[in-house]
Structures are given as C-alpha cells and as structure tokens.
C-alpha cells in the first residue's frame, strides 16, 4: 500500500490540496471509530504475563519507522547486562502461524517473513501470531528476557517496558488515525503507555523538532524523547554506479542514505513494503543495471526475500543504530526491568 500524500505532508513537502483535505475530513469519523475500537479491545482484553520480562518495540503508525534496528540495538544492550534475549514477532508476510523458532538455514521469508530472518542473525527469534504462545516457547528455549518487535497495540501479552519508534522525517504524519491518517491510535493514547519515544533519523543531523512539537501538543506528561540514527556498518561502498531498489516502508529513506554516502545512483526502483520479488523482476533489474554499467544494491531486509543465488549477486548496505544518549536508554531499561550488569560483561 502506498500512503496518500496527505498522510505525510512533512515528507511530500507540500500542503494537501482542497480535494485531499476533503477526503481527509470525510475519513475522520472512520478514524475515530477505528481508534475507539482499538482502545476498547485493549481495555477489555485479558493479558498473559510471561515468566520473564517483556520489552516491546512498536510504533503508532502503519508502515516502517525503524523498529527492527531498534529491537536489535535493545537486545544487544540486554545481552550486555548478562541476559539471553529472544525476539518475538508476528512474522508479517510469512505463512507460518507458529509458535516456531526461526532457522536461517531452513526458513525462507515466504514462510516466516523478512524481519524475523534479519532478527535471527542477532538473537534467537520466535515467530508466533499468538503472542502468549510465542512467549511460552521462548521461555522453554532459554529466554531470560523477550524483545517483542511490533505488537504495541496488541493487548494479549503484558509488556514490562514499551518504546514507541518514530521516523524523524515522517513523524506522526497528519496526526490522524487510520484511514484519515497513518496512526493506529491517537498520539496521546499511545504515548500514555510508552516509557520513551525513539526518533530514528538517517543521519546525526536529522531534525526531530516537529516530533517534539507534536508530543507537546498531544501529551501533558510525555515520556522522554531519545534520538538515534542509522549508520552504515560497512566501511564504504564500492566505487561504481548503482541501481538501488527497495521494498520497505519508505524506500526513499534508503535511497537518501546512499546519496548521503555519495554513492553514484543511476536510477532507483521502489516496491511495496515486504514485496516478494519474482525472478522476472530481478532479471529486469539486472538487465537495466547492466545497460547503465551499474551494480544492483538493496537493503538487508530486502535481501532476506531473495533466493541464496540472487543474494550472492546483489550488494546490500548493512546498517547499525546509534543512540545520541545510549546511557539514557540503558538507565530506562535498568529502572523499568530492575536489571543489574553481569560481572562478566
């Protein structure tokens, strides 16, 4: 699904026209119903409490905000405290309902989803549409703490700590609930349940001032705002032209990162989030790149949806998340989860 421009006026760079504003106004009642239904479900549901702490990394909007790199960074922090973190995820885009532990040597994205395969390269990962059943399996397999990637609005599992991830450029969009806007729930309702907001940018200079302004407008006692940015893990790109393609929440963010690294992009191709590439599509991309003397490059998440053969032929850009104030997040985790640092770490 490609979001309409009026959802994200900050990204489009222009104010919605009269027709877009009319559609937005007409959809507002549906958004109010959607938000109220979600809130009622959370209030009326019975939640399962796992025997180990559960940390949730979620967002308030539909689409990608950077949850997966934040989840990986938090799991790394928890590991430094001597814990054995397990990721728990729904496995969006996969056929497996779970609960099942992801095996990178056996599973493909069509079965478990692309994000679980990426998570599994950092820590053991459980895919389960039934979150309590997934948490129980993680416990059985040795988890001392669970990091839930997404599921902030899902009330089935008690969360001991929850973080809301926001894209620095997109922010909260137009501030309206789906389908009038990109939000799954109102900003005020969501932030009430969060320990912190993590604003993820593409560089240390990413501006989060509009996020601070939106928080001040919607929350009387808001949680702290922590800034982070994605940094390429690779030492550098090879000095040749690239054809970049991506099927993520905001492909342009990947293309902008490449440009910031001074990569020579002959052209770009954007696909829907979680897109499963066909051999024909990849052949077409390879031919186009060859015609322009370029190499193909994509994201690590997209690479999870490629066959091993295609993966060997296409470059990726590994990224890591860097927090401006890492200690502030560590202190929050310690305080909320009563963690103490292991003498071995």
Q: Domain 54-83+144-232+321-337, what architecture? A: 3-Layer(aba) Sandwich (3.40)
End-to-end alpha carbon distance in the chain? 44
Specify the pLDDT at position 257: 86
Specify the pLDDT at position 206: 79
Burial of residue 28 (CB within 10 Å: 0-12, 13-18, 19+) is: middle
CA-only gyration radius of the chain, Å: 20
Give the strands of the sheet with 265-270, arranged side by side: 265-270, 242-246, 295-299, 315-317
pLDDT in tens, the chain (345 residues): 677 888 988 776 667 788 888 999 999 999 999 999 999 999 999 999 999 999 999 999 987 778 999 999 999 999 999 999 999 999 998 999 989 999 999 999 999 999 999 999 999 999 999 999 999 999 999 999 999 999 999 999 999 999 999 999 889 999 999 999 999 999 999 999 999 999 998 777 778 888 998 898 888 889 999 999 988 876 667 888 999 999 998 898 899 889 888 899 999 999 999 999 999 999 999 999 999 999 999 999 999 999 999 999 999 998 889 999 999 999 999 999 887 654 333
Specify the pLDDT at position 343: 37
The tokens for 13 are: 């760079």
Specify the pLDDT at position 256: 86
Specify the pLDDT at position 150: 93
Alpha carbon of residue 325 to chain centroid: 20
Of 93, 147, 92, 156, give the one whose Cα is nearest residue 125. 147
The tokens for 187 are: 């900003």
| Angle CA 214–216–220, to nearest 5 | 130
| Helix 67-80 / helix 326-337 crossing angle, nearest 10 deg | 70
């Amino acid at each position: 699904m490609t979001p309409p421009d009026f959802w994200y006026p900050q990204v489009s760079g222009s104010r919605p026209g009269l027709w877009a504003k009319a559609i937005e106004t007409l959809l507002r009642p549906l958004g109010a119903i959607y938000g109220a239904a979600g809130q009622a479900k959370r209030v009326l549901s019975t939640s399962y409490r796992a025997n180990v702490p559960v940390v949730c990394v979620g967002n308030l909007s539909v689409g990608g905000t950077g949850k997966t790199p934040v989840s990986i960074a938090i799991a790394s922090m928890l590991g430094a405290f001597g814990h054995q973190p397990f990721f728990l995820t729904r496995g969006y885009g996969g056929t497996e309902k779970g609960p099942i532990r992801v095996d990178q040597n056996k599973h493909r994205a069509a079965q478990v989803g692309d994000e679980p395969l990426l998570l599994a390269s950092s820590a053991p990962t459980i895919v389960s549409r039934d979150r309590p059943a997934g948490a129980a399996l993680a416990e059985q397999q040795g988890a001392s703490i669970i990091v839930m990637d997404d599921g902030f609005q899902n009330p089935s599992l008690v969360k001991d700590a929850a973080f809301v991830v926001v894209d620095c450029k997109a922010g909260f969009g137009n501030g309206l609930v789906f389908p009038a806007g990109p939000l799954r729930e109102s900003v005020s309702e969501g932030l009430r349940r969060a320990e912190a907001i993590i604003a993820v940018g593409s560089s240390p200079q990413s501006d989060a001032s509009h996020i601070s302004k939106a928080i001040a407008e919607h929350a009387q006692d808001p949680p702290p705002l922590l800034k982070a940015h994605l940094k390429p893990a690779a030492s550098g790109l090879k000095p040749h032209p690239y054809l970049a393609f991506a099927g993520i929440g905001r492909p342009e963010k990947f293309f902008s990162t490449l440009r910031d690294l001074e990569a020579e992009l002959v052209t770009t191709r954007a696909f829907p989030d979680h897109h499963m590439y066909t051999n024909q599509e990849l052949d077409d991309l390879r031919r186009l790149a060859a015609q322009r003397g370029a190499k193909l490059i994509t994201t690590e998440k997209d690479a999870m949806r490629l066959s091993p053969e295609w993966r060997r032929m296409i470059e990726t850009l590994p990224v890591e998340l860097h927090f401006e104030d890492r200690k502030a997040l560590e202190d929050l985790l310690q305080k909320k989860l009563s963690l103490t640092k292991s003498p071995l770490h």
